[in-house]
Amino acid sequence: MKSIAFVGMAEGWQNAPIYDKNFDLWTCNAFCKEIDNKRIKVCFDMHDWEAADYYPVWYKYLQQKLPFPVIRPYKTEKVPNCEVFPLKEAKKLFPDHAFASTLSYVIAYATIKGVKDLYMWGINTSEFIKDDPRMGYSFYYCMGIARVLGTKVHIVGYQVPDALPLYGYVKYSYKDSYRDLMAVYGNENYVIKDGADDEYKAKNRADDIA
């Protein structure tokens, strides 16, 4: 199987290899209206259209006979090329966890299909971690499980969360700790002040593992 180029609608999608025949192209939601649909292999739309018709033009587009399957939560005659997402199988591979966004479903679907490399352009992981942490938790959980099962997920583009400092290996000041707790609680009685005015003297442990 070819590597998959999944293209979302966020910034960075312009850099995706949409017309590169070394990739099979997957996309989601209304993005497929914007490109040559003959290149698209799979489109995901995991919304409940019966409950919320959030984009009438897109809904009308879906009612055409398209040259690719549209992955949906359930079957509907209104989408001729509808293919039901294999939820039962996905839940077996990704146990004890809810799929909290379309991106999580994409990763699960790729894993089920035996995709080795899933490259993702035009997805805003920084934003959904900030605006809805459940999406971030779900996405990265699915990435980890997929890797164990043989599917590597590669996020391509600039909208990847900033790397966090290595807990336990970075120098941290008791002053910083005190200020952080004061900001949260607003009361010094919650904070043990011993040594709060002295900088933490331990050497940066990152030097020890360099």
Question: Could you tell me the pTM of the whole model?
Answer: 0.74
Q: Which parts of the chain register pLDDT below 70?
A: 49-54, 125-131, 157-210
The answer on 86 and 35 residing in a single domain is yes
The answer on 138 and 70 residing in a single domain is yes
The per-residue pLDDT for 191 is: 41
The CATH number of residue 69's host domain is 3.90.1480.10
The answer on 185 and 147 residing in a single domain is no
The answer on 149 and 54 residing in a single domain is yes
The per-residue pLDDT for 113 is: 97
Residue 112 domain-assigned? yes
The per-residue pLDDT for 70 is: 92
The answer on 47 and 83 residing in a single domain is yes
Distance CA 164, CA 156 (A): 18
Residue 165 domain-assigned? no
Distance CA 59, CA 64 (A): 9
Residue 29 domain-assigned? yes
The answer on 126 and 38 residing in a single domain is yes
- CB proximity list for 48: less than 8 A, separation 6 or greater: 73
Distance CA 130, CA 45 (A): 23
Residue 163 domain-assigned? no
Residue 77 domain-assigned? yes
The per-residue pLDDT for 205 is: 38
DSSP per-residue letters across 91-111:
HHHSTT----SHHHHHHHHHH
Q: What SS3 class is residue 153?
A: strand
The per-residue pLDDT for 53 is: 58
Instruction: Give the domain range for residue 41.
Output: 3-155
The answer on 150 and 181 residing in a single domain is no
The per-residue pLDDT for 126 is: 65
The answer on 187 and 95 residing in a single domain is no
The answer on 32 and 132 residing in a single domain is yes
Q: For residue range 154-202, what is the model confidence (pLDDT) as tens digits?
A: 988 655 555 666 666 655 554 555 555 455 445 444 444 444 334 333 4
Q: Between β-strands 117-121 and 40-44, what pairing exists: parallel, antiparallel or unpaired?
A: unpaired
The answer on 197 and 124 residing in a single domain is no
The per-residue pLDDT for 199 is: 39
The per-residue pLDDT for 175 is: 52
The per-residue pLDDT for 98 is: 78
The answer on 136 and 190 residing in a single domain is no
Q: What SS3 class is residue 188?
A: helix
Work out how many domains the chain is built from and give that number. 2
Residue 45 domain-assigned? yes
